[in-house]
Amino acid sequence: MIKFKYYFCFFLFLGLGFTLNAQVNCEEEVKEEILLIGDSWAFFMDFDSTFDVILPQWGHTNKTYYTNSILAENGATLVDFLTQERLDEIEFQLQERPDIKIVHLSLGGNDFLQNWNINFTDDETEDLKNSVIANLNLLIQSIKSFQPDIQIVWSGYTYTNFEEIISAAFIPAVHPFYSTWQNMGFPDSQTLNELQNDFSASIQNLIEADDQLDYISATGLMQYIFGQETPLEVAPFGTYEALEAPLPTGFINFPSPQASMRNYVVFLDCFHLSGLGYQAFINYQMQKHYHKALMDDAIFIANQSNLNGSVTSSTTLENELIVGNFNATEHKSILNFETENALNFNTAQAALFLSIKEHSEEVENIVFSVEVTSGFFGTDEGLGEEDFNFTAEASAEVCYFGEAENNHWLKLNLSEELLEFINHQNQTQIRLSLVDHSDAYLIFNATNNEEFAPVLNITYGDEPSFSVEESVTQSFKIYPNPTTSKLYFSSDTPLHSDFEVSIYSSNAQPMKPLIHENEIDISHFPNGVYILQIKSNLQVHQQKIIKE
């Protein structure tokens, strides 16, 4: 494994006729951006350092998590976390760690399984489920009261494996999870799986009503990752291959495979995953949510196959992203990002995330060159042979972070001289190549899957892209301004049905107003100056507002 953590950039001073080895600080400040809260699943993910294993694989080399013995406790329930001691601890840690963006919440499983029995009527099961969900909602609302703009991910769980594992034990009754299974009335795997999916679907309904909450359904993920290589030891006794089980719910009559469960040598767990199991679990959540949720103020995805690809001096390859010496020919990649009218502030920092599909054996000490133009290379925005050497508006050799392994991500931090050409006035095209390395190439995942397509991550500065009070073609009225609680807006012409309202603080941080029709509630904002932006049918109005 070759780790790219630090790289000293070199700049060529053409006028002086020599190369200056100018050392540039390419170290990163590590930030705690995830708060891990919950039961034994949170406990084991902390024990295994699961997030710290997976985050760098997605290019998030400067991100980590935080938890402690109060916030992640084996056997904990929602009721435990609604005590004042636990709530105070959550509030304290959120205040102490202002970089936290996401609370990863793994709770509810013990509340349900420890109180449910197979002999429950449908009404009794529904009452228990509603009680657990009500407590979950109470905890969520408490966390949001501590930090109103926090994002919360409910972790969920994958299928259990009580029946097969305990039945195969030398003395089933002494298995540590026998009493748990017994108290439930010895349900089979299908019964538990159906119960778990119903419970998860009900929480999904709660989460869909709030854009600060998320849940990645993946109850059948362990089946998909590990497969059932040997016949199941209980009904239905079959096998299936890895990657065969349909996601998210897999095969409803099969448990999670034994290969995915935690192995204590003297017994197999029935509910908790192995280290690799938890890595697969968080890796899937990274793919579906965390990867982009952990990015900054604006993200752009290179997802148009006809505008992204590779060029050589004589050919073009749409939707094939190759850099370096591939098949004895130098390749450069062209990436297109639709930044026009989509950046609310100037670009203070930018990073390019790229997922590796394939690479040569010789990738040690590679150097990336990034060239940027506001608009497009060549004579039009499409790929062309002239794009290979077309003059860029800015270029630099850049710092990169990550691990050069297939299916891992590299992050390229763009240097300051590139940033002014990433703006709202035009689309942004980037040409990527390797410098002075005849034996190396990398092929990146292209645009056919947005979850693995290249991403441009933007951190805003404090200068609005549009002049304050600017209204492109549409006349808006914003009143009262200043306000102590609510704003109202009206327009001389009808608003487009998909109009967007955004508010940013004076340091360019996005805020979360409460919007209902033409009413904007900012009563929960701190007093100060903000920038309000309304977009409607490609028209933009932006002005200062004051909360008193």
CATH of the domain at 513: 2.60.40.10
12 assigned to some structural domain: no
Q: Minimal CA–CA distance to 510: which of 216, 154, 148, 28?
A: 148
Could you tell me which residues are beta bridge partners of residue 353?
A: 411, 455
Checking if the pLDDT of 194 tops 50, the result is yes
* 17 band by pLDDT with thresholds 50, 70 and 90: very low
Q: Return the percentage of the chain with pLDDT > 90, whole number.
A: 71
Checking if the pLDDT of 279 tops 90, the result is yes
pTM of the model: 0.86
Checking if the pLDDT of 31 tops 80, the result is yes
Give me the pLDDT at residue 195, please. 97
Q: How many domains does the chain have?
A: 3
Domain boundary among 464, 492, 510: 464
Q: Minimal CA–CA distance to 34: which of 294, 272, 356, 228?
A: 294
Q: Minimal CA–CA distance to 454: which of 510, 500, 414, 508?
A: 414
Longest alpha-carbon distance in the chain: 85
* Same domain membership, residue 415 and residue 497: no
Q: Return the percentage of the chain with pLDDT > 70, whole number.
A: 91
Domain boundary among 259, 293, 327: 293
Checking if the pLDDT of 340 tops 70, the result is yes
* 475 band by pLDDT with thresholds 50, 70 and 90: low
Give me the pLDDT at residue 501, please. 87
Give me the pLDDT at residue 471, please. 43
7 assigned to some structural domain: no
Average pLDDT, the chain: 89
347 assigned to some structural domain: yes
* Same domain membership, residue 337 and residue 212: no
350 assigned to some structural domain: yes
Tokens 């508006």 belong to residue: 393
522 assigned to some structural domain: yes
Checking if the pLDDT of 442 tops 90, the result is yes
* Same domain membership, residue 41 and residue 156: yes
16 assigned to some structural domain: no
Mean of the pLDDT values across residues 389-409? Answer: 93
The H or E element spanning position 434 is strand 428-434
Mean of the pLDDT values across residues 497-520? Answer: 81
* Same domain membership, residue 229 and residue 196: yes
Residue 158 CB contacts under 8 Å (≥ 6 apart), including other chains: 218, 219, 220, 221, 222, 256, 260, 273, 277, 281
The answer to whether the CB of 311 falls within 8 A of the CB of 82 is: no
* Same domain membership, residue 408 and residue 306: yes
Domain containing 449: what range?
298-464
Give me the pLDDT at residue 21, please. 28
**Residue 234: exposure state from Cβ atoms within 10 A (0-12, 13-18, ≥19):** middle
* Same domain membership, residue 171 and residue 220: yes
* 537 band by pLDDT with thresholds 50, 70 and 90: low
* Same domain membership, residue 275 and residue 372: no
Checking if the pLDDT of 469 tops 70, the result is no
* Same domain membership, residue 535 and residue 444: no
* Same domain membership, residue 202 and residue 325: no
Whole-angstrom Cα Rg for the chain: 26
CATH of the domain at 118: 3.40.50.1110
481 assigned to some structural domain: yes
* Same domain membership, residue 386 and residue 313: yes
Range of lowest pLDDT (189-203, 274-288, 417-431, 531-545): 531-545
Domain boundary among 250, 277, 293: 293
5 assigned to some structural domain: no
* Same domain membership, residue 183 and residue 39: yes
CA angle, 493 then 499 then 500, to 5°: 135
CA dist., res. 521 & res. 82, Å (int)? 29
* Same domain membership, residue 113 and residue 85: yes
Give me the pLDDT at residue 295, please. 96
Checking if the pLDDT of 351 tops 90, the result is yes
Give me the pLDDT at residue 304, please. 86
Give me the pLDDT at residue 466, please. 62
* 516 band by pLDDT with thresholds 50, 70 and 90: confident
